């Protein structure tokens, strides 16, 4: 059986296996790992491992897309560890102005966007790691962590 994604493309064009997609769909539908295991004739720990691998694949795919957005962005803003969110926003607006690109989000929305994206990378309003920000020609801001 070949599963079809929502856009009509076969699952084999994704980073997920058919089994991972099936389990994720069942989990999103409210089924427990044990219920799925019983249905598929396996163990709940096996379902857990497959689900975990699927979610990891999704996270890696999203990070790949984020990196591609930053690479394609005409304006890139490296932000060093220790910078505050305010300093980061100042740098983004300055680089955008320098490149003639208007940032799409007003300052409070950009702050909220960055804080949400970087929650695990910020302590006491300061970055715990280097990041790179990409600014598109439309002024959209994308964050990519782990430059190395």
| Adjacency order of strands within the sheet including 131-135 | 75-79, 131-135, 141-145
Cα(45)–Cα(24) distance, rounded to whole angstroms?
15
> With contact defined as beta carbons under 8 Å apart, do 144 and 67 qualify?
yes
In contact, 4 and 10? CB cutoff 8 Å: yes
Residue 67's pLDDT is 77
**By C-alpha distance, which of 76, 75, 93, 91 is closest to 127?**
91
User: Over 70: is that where the pLDDT of 11 sits?
Assistant: no
Structure tokens at 81: 């560890």
Domain with CATH 1.10.10 in the chain: 11-67
pTM value surpassing 0.75? no
Asked if the model's pLDDT at residue 89 lies above 90, the reply is: yes
Q: Regarding predicted confidence, which is higher, 53 or 69?
A: 53
**Domain covering 11-67 assigned CATH 1.10.10 in the classification:** yes
């Amino acid at each position: 059986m070949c599963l079809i994604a929502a856009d009509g493309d076969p699952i084999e064009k994704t980073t997920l296996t058919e089994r991972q997609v099936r389990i994720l769909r069942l989990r999103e539908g409210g089924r427990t790992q044990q219920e799925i295991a019983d249905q598929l004739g396996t163990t709940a720990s096996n379902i857990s491992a497959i689900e975990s691998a699927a979610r990891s694949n999704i996270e890696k795919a999203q990070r790949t897309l984020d990196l591609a957005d930053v690479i394609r962005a005409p304006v890139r803003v490296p932000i060093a560890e220790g910078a505050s969110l305010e300093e980061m926003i100042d740098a983004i607006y300055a680089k955008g102005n320098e490149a003639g690109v208007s940032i799409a989000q007003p300052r409070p929305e950009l702050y909220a966007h960055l804080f949400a994206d970087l929650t695990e990378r910020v302590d006491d309003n300061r970055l715990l790691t280097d990041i790179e920000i990409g600014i598109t020609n439309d002024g959209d801001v994308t964050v990519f962590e782990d430059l190395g």
